[in-house]
């Protein structure tokens, strides 16, 4: 395995995915220490600009995690996330940034194990991609 230690940013919604991350912690589920969580109230509040800002400044990967469709505590918030984030990936692709550096997934408050898996898999995926080339670019 590679020695590359990526820096990853994750947006977690307060109600499901952040609580799922907490559950993973309470359950002592071990995972790579590369992911840094920013808590937001709903995944639908994550602006595309945040993802672009992080990746353009050299963050190696960005995760956006919300409630499963149908379980959003704000009813339909995550429907917007589900529509918006693939568009962000399209923008990334168009601008020459590997769209796999951004991932959208759903983790419920009861899914500590899923959180562990999503984190572990994403870190591995980013390790395969290597460091973000924009790291060296000064805007």
Partner 1 sequence: MARIGVFICHCGHNIASTVNVEEVAEFAKTLPEVVVADHNLYSCSEEGLGSIKKSIEKNKLDRVVVAACTPRTHEPLFRKTVELAGINKYQFEFVNIREHVSWIHTKEPKSATEKAKKLVAMGVAKAALLEPQKEGESNVIPTAVVIGGGIAGLTAAASLVAQNIDTHLIEAESRLGGNLADIEVVGPEFRRSEELLDMLTKELKASPKAHVHMSSKVTDVKGFVGNFEVTIDKAGKTEKIPAGAIIVATGAKEWTPDGEYGYGTVPGAITQLDLEKRLAKGERPKRVVFIQCVGSRQPGREYCSRVCCNASLKNALRILESSPDATVSILHRDIMSSGTVSEHIYRLASEKGVRFMRYGLDRPAKVSRTQNGTVVKVFDETLDEDIDLDTDLVVLATPMVAREDSRDVGKLLKVPLDKFGFFLEAHVKLRPVEFATDGIFLCGAARWPGSVNECISQGMAAAAKAAIPIRRGKVVIEAITAQSDIDKCAACGNCVIACPYEAIEIVASEGKRYAKVNETQCKGCGTCVAACPNDAMQQRGFTTRQLGAMIDALVKSAMEETP
Residues that bind partner 1 (CB under 8 A): 4-7, 9, 14-15, 18-19, 21-22, 24-26, 28-31, 33-34, 36-42, 44-50, 53-54, 57-60, 70-77, 80, 84, 109, 116, 131, 135
Shortest Å, Cβ 49 to partner 1: 7
Nearest CA among 84, 11, 88 for reference residue 42: 11
Instruction: List the structure tokens of 62.
Output: 């960005």
Please give the C-alpha separations between residue 138 and each of 56, 61, 133, 134, in angstroms, as whole numbers.
10, 18, 11, 8
Closest to partner 1 by CB, 32 or 99: 32
Closest to partner 1 by CB, 71 or 99: 71
Closest to partner 1 by CB, 61 or 96: 61
Shortest Å, Cβ 79 to partner 1: 9
Shortest Å, Cβ 33 to partner 1: 4
Instruction: List the structure tokens of 109.
Output: 């408050």
Please, is 3 exposed, middle or buried when counting C-beta atoms within 10 Å of its C-beta (0-12, 13-18, 19+)?
A: exposed
- State how far the Cα of 87 lies from the Cα of 28, in Å rounded to an integer: 35
């Amino acid at each position: 395995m590679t020695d590359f230690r990526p820096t990853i940013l994750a947006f977690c919604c307060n109600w499901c995915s952040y609580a799922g991350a907490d559950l993973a912690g309470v359950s002592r589920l071990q995972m790579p220490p590369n992911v840094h969580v920013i808590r937001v109230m709903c995944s639908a509040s994550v602006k595309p600009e945040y993802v672009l800002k992080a990746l353009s400044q050299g963050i190696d990967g960005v995760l956006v995690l919300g409630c499963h469709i149908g379980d959003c505590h704000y009813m339909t918030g995550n429907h917007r996330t589900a529509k918006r984030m693939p568009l962000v990936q399209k923008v990334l692709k168009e601008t020459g940034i590997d769209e796999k550096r951004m991932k959208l997934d759903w983790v419920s408050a009861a899914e500590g194990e899923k959180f562990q898996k999503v984190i572990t898999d994403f870190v591995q995926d980013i390790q395969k991609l290597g460091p973000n080339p924009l790291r060296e670019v000064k805007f």
